[in-house]
């Protein structure tokens, strides 16, 4: 399930990035790369596990679902940290200038 959740997050973030493509103010390309990287990693993991161990390709257990949710949230947190450090609206500069 974690492969499916990260793939959905990657597709949604890519669509949002494409709609706002000329203006990359919020670094959505970074969010896309985070999610596509995770999706590619999980895909390779699933293919290798399927080849070596067999069994079902997708795992729909609660643990796999929770892992997918945690991975998507960690990607969003990493993107928010990157966004805050880049300060696209110059909020931090304005706050420092007021002091």
pTM of the model: 0.86
pLDDT, position 94: 61
pLDDT, position 91: 77
Evaluate the CA torsion angle 55, 42, 74, 11 in order and state its sign. Answer: negative
User: Based on the structure, what is the number of domains in the chain?
Assistant: 1
Question: How far lies 23's CA from each of 16, 17, 29, 38, 49, in Å?
Answer: 12, 9, 11, 25, 40
pLDDT, position 97: 62
Burial 36-66 (b: 16+ CB within 10 A, else e): bebbeebeeebeeeeeeeeeeeebeeeebee
Residue span of the structural domain in which 87 resides:
2-98
For 6-37, write each residue's pLDDT tens digit.
999 999 999 999 998 888 888 999 999 999 99
pLDDT above 90 for 53: yes
């Amino acid at each position: 399930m974690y492969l499916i959740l990260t793939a959905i997050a990657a597709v949604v973030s890519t669509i949002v990035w494409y709609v706002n493509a000329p203006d990359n103010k919020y670094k959505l390309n970074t969010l896309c790369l985070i999610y596509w990287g995770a999706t590619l990693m999980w895909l390779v993991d699933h293919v290798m596990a399927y080849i070596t161990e067999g069994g079902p390709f997708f795992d729909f257990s609660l643990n796999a679902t929770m892992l997918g949710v945690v991975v998507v949230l960690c990607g969003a947190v990493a993107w928010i940290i990157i966004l805050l450090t880049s300060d696209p609206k110059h909020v931090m500069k304005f706050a420092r200038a007021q002091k």
